[in-house]
Amino acid sequence: MATFSELINANAKLRPQEVEHLSELVAEWRLLADLSFADLILWLPIRKDETAWPDGYVAIAQIRPTTAATVFNNDLIGSELAWGSNSRVDQALSSGEILRDTQPEKVGELLIKEEAIPVYFEGKTIAVIARHRNADLMRSPSKLELNYREIAHKIYQMVAEGNYPIRNSI
């Protein structure tokens, strides 16, 4: 399996500062997965050069929560997603806005709720986090879970604004 850096270098033309930003995000995203009770996948747009529109995406990182059941039993790192096959990820990349499912969608055998969070850095969206929750296992959340999810939402907003992770905080 290719490493994080190998996947980036083979599929995109990112500046060293952008690669560092993604590395710092992945180093700190256990908190995001646990607070949002969700699997996270980091999708990197596949681009031949910095100005080209992406052909699709490659999964360069994945994390499962310790606070909820996982959605994906298999490892998706290195998997590709064609442009147009996931409208939320496409829209998050092009609009820079966080996009949420209003209704769960059937993915294989599971009913999934998805959210797409743009990873903004120095004036542009460089990747997209896809957040996945198994709707079949969702229950009425406790006050604690609601608070955790609200904190996660605020951190995701910081990611979309380019304010998280805080540079050189590791």
- For residue range 33-71, list pLDDT tens digits in order: 999 999 999 999 999 887 888 999 999 999 999 999 899
In a domain, 10, yes or no: yes
Distances (CA, A) of 152 to 20, 33, 64, 87, 136: 22, 8, 15, 23, 21
Give the predicted TM-score (pTM) of the model: 0.94
Q: In the block, which residue shows the tokens 């256990």?
A: 30
- For residue range 135-166, list pLDDT tens digits in order: 877 668 899 999 999 999 999 999 999 999 98
In a domain, 169, yes or no: no
In a domain, 168, yes or no: no
Candidates 38, 32, 39; CA nearest to 74 is 39
In a domain, 100, yes or no: yes
Give the CATH number, domain containing residue 150. 3.30.450.280
In a domain, 77, yes or no: yes
